């Protein structure tokens, strides 16, 4: 079922009063839970964690103006073993060689695209450019978009936060957003955080890819192992999401308070301009709803 059909169904159920909004759960969330249970034949408690965690961020705001968002994109690093001559190009953020792995995930914390094998010195923006042009490319569905951090180029299919505007979640702890750009960045950060949590759970589940010592396997093998772990992660998120593990990762992300992502300057092209228009439209609608208390 597409997003438009889903929203029409929810509106019809709400209009005929067959399903009602409650204080904590919207009609959209109730319908989404029911459809998920029927489609995947799972118990209510299996999916309750996802909807409980999404709370205000997704159930109230996501369907309204970010309904065409299909997930988040980011890169993460895994330690690798490479010949001494190749180590400089693999030694980026860490003191040891790593590979930069680009991944996209949905809001169920399942990976929808994974690209391994890039040197640790390669920027996320460079890896994404390759991911969009290769044969087994990352597909950006027409009319849909992912969320990315400030290190990526703004595109119509990849929406990044406003620059020079408060970005990370902890920056909003003292006061709420004061304008549409701050509100957009707040909700952008809240939703984009799903990729950080997905990486965190992946790394805690599979010590073989996160060991502090040099891997026993060669570079090609460890890239395949990372892919295998991502596949297993997706399976486990469907049958055993382990709420305690996810909650632990969530706490650690909040405590670590990551520093501002590197801002990469890009030449503005037509795709950038289309992305900027879309972002401004979303931000304006968010702010208007926010001022009305919606």
Print pLDDT tens along the chain (294 aa).
Answer: 666 777 888 888 888 888 887 755 677 777 877 776 666 655 554 455 444 444 444 444 454 567 789 999 999 999 999 999 999 999 877 788 999 999 999 988 999 999 999 999 999 999 999 999 999 999 888 889 999 999 899 999 999 999 888 766 666 556 678 899 998 988 898 889 999 999 999 999 999 998 778 888 999 999 999 999 999 999 999 888 888 899 899 888 877 755 555 555 556 788 899 999 999 999 998 888 888 876
- Taking Cα atoms as reference points, which of 162, 137, 132, 164 lies closest to residue 149? 162
β-strands 158-159, 69-79 pairing? unpaired
Is residue 43 included in any domain, yes or no? no
Question: What span, in angstroms and rounded, lies between the C-alpha atoms of 187 and 147?
Answer: 11
Q: What CA–CA distance (Å, rounded) separates 72 from 70?
A: 7
Structure tokens at 136: 């087994």
Residue 286 within a domain? yes
* Predicted local distance difference test score (pLDDT) of residue 72: 95
Residue 145: half-sphere exposure toward Cβ, Cα within 13 Å: 26
Residue span of the structural domain in which 100 resides: 69-291
- pLDDT of the residue at 231: 95
pTM over cut 0.85: no
Is 21 part of a structural domain of the chain?
no
**pLDDT at residue 59, rounded to an integer:** 43
Q: What is the pLDDT of residue 180?
A: 92
Tell me the C-alpha distance between 291 and 92, whole Å. 44
- Give a yes or no: residue 245 inside a domain: yes
Give the long-range contacts of residues 7-16, CB within 8 A, separation 24 or more.
Answer: 7/63, 7/67, 10/63
Neighbour order of strands in the sheet with 69-79: 111-119, 98-105, 69-79, 145-147, 158-159
Angle between helices 3-15 and 27-40 (to 10 degrees): 120
Contacts 24+ apart (CB under 8 A), 15-24: none
Query: Considering the domain boundaries, does residue 234 fall inside one?
Result: yes
Q: Following CA atoms 287, 288, 291, 292 in sequence, which dihedral angle do they give, to the nearest 10 degrees?
A: -140
Residue 23 lies in a domain: no
Handedness of CA 168, 253, 94, 106 (dihedral sign): negative
DSSP summary character for residue 155: B
Domain membership of residue 214 (yes or no) is yes
- Give the span between the Cα atoms of 62 and 56, in whole angstroms: 9
**Inter-residue contact 31 to 10 (CB < 8 Å):** yes
pLDDT at 223: 94
**Count of domains in the chain?**
1
Q: Is residue 16 part of a domain?
A: no
């Amino acid at each position: 079922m597409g997003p438009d059909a889903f929203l029409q169904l929810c509106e019809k159920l709400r209009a005929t009063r067959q399903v009602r909004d409650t204080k904590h759960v919207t009609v959209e969330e109730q319908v989404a839970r029911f459809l998920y249970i029927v489609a995947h034949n799972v118990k209510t408690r299996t999916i309750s964690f996802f909807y409980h965690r999404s709370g205000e961020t997704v159930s109230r705001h996501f369907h309204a103006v970010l309904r065409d968002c299909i997930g988040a994109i980011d890169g993460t690093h895994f330690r690798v073993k490479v010949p001494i001559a190749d180590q400089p190009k693999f030694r980026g953020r860490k003191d040891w060689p790593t590979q930069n792995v680009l991944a996209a995930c949905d809001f169920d914390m399942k990976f929808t695209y994974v690209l391994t094998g890039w040197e640790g010195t390669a920027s996320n923006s460079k890896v994404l450019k390759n991911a969009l042009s290769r044969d087994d490319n990352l597909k950006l569905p027409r009319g849909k978009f992912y969320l990315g951090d400030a290190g990526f180029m703004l595109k119509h299919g990849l929406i990044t936060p406003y620059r020079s505007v408060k970005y990370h979640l902890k920056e909003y702890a003292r006061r709420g957003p004061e304008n549409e750009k701050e509100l957009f960045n707040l909700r952008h950060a809240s939703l984009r955080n799903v990729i950080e949590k997905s990486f965190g759970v992946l790394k805690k589940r599979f010590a073989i890819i996160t060991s502090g010592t040099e891997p026993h396997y060669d570079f090609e093998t460890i890239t395949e192992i990372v892919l295998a772990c991502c596949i297993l992660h997706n399976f486990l998120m469907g049958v055993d999401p382990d709420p305690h593990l996810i909650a632990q990762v969530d706490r650690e992300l909040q405590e670590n308070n990551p520093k501002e992502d590197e801002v990469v300057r890009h030449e503005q092209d037509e795709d950038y301009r289309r992305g900027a228009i879309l972002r401004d439209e979303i931000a304006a609608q968010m702010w208007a709803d926010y001022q009305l208390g919606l």
